[in-house]
Amino acid sequence: MYYEMRTYTIQIGKMKDYLAHFEEFGLPAISKYAQLVAWWYTEIGELNQVIHVWAYESLDDRTSRRAALYKDEDWLNKFMPKAFPMIVKQESKLLLAANFSPIK
């Protein structure tokens, strides 16, 4: 199993708007293509960040699912136009679980 940890820095003062918009439009769209493992936002440390983790069977699985998402009309027309201007920075990491990890 491959896990993708995505970290987004949201514009100051826009976290509430971003979370509501993602819940209403982003999550339903992306959930058609990926399995959500976890979703957090920061309270201490580097602020104004959302961190989420998605599970994929393989790198090829991730590639094909992301390609399908990027063609999804709900993602393109309902989520992206409002969400993307609220994002300041994005980071994505692909993670593999160690043999002893509780999540594998």
Give the model's pLDDT for residue 13. Answer: 97
Q: What is the pLDDT of residues 42-94, one digit of tens each?
A: 999 999 999 999 999 999 999 999 999 999 999 999 999 999 999 999 999 99
Single out the residue of 62, 76, 60, 77 nearest to residue 6, CA to CA: 62
Q: How far is 51 from 93, CA to CA, in rounded Å? A: 11
Q: How far is 90 from 24, CA to CA, in rounded Å? A: 21
Q: Which residues 6+ apart lie within 8 Å of 80 measured at CB?
A: none
Give the model's pLDDT for residue 104. Answer: 78
Cβ atoms < 10 Å from Cβ of 48: 18
The ranges assigned to domains in the chain are 2-96
Q: Enter the pTM of the model.
A: 0.90
Q: How far is 11 from 90, CA to CA, in rounded Å? A: 12
**Domain 2-96: CATH class, spelled out:** alpha beta
Q: What type of residue is 62?
A: R
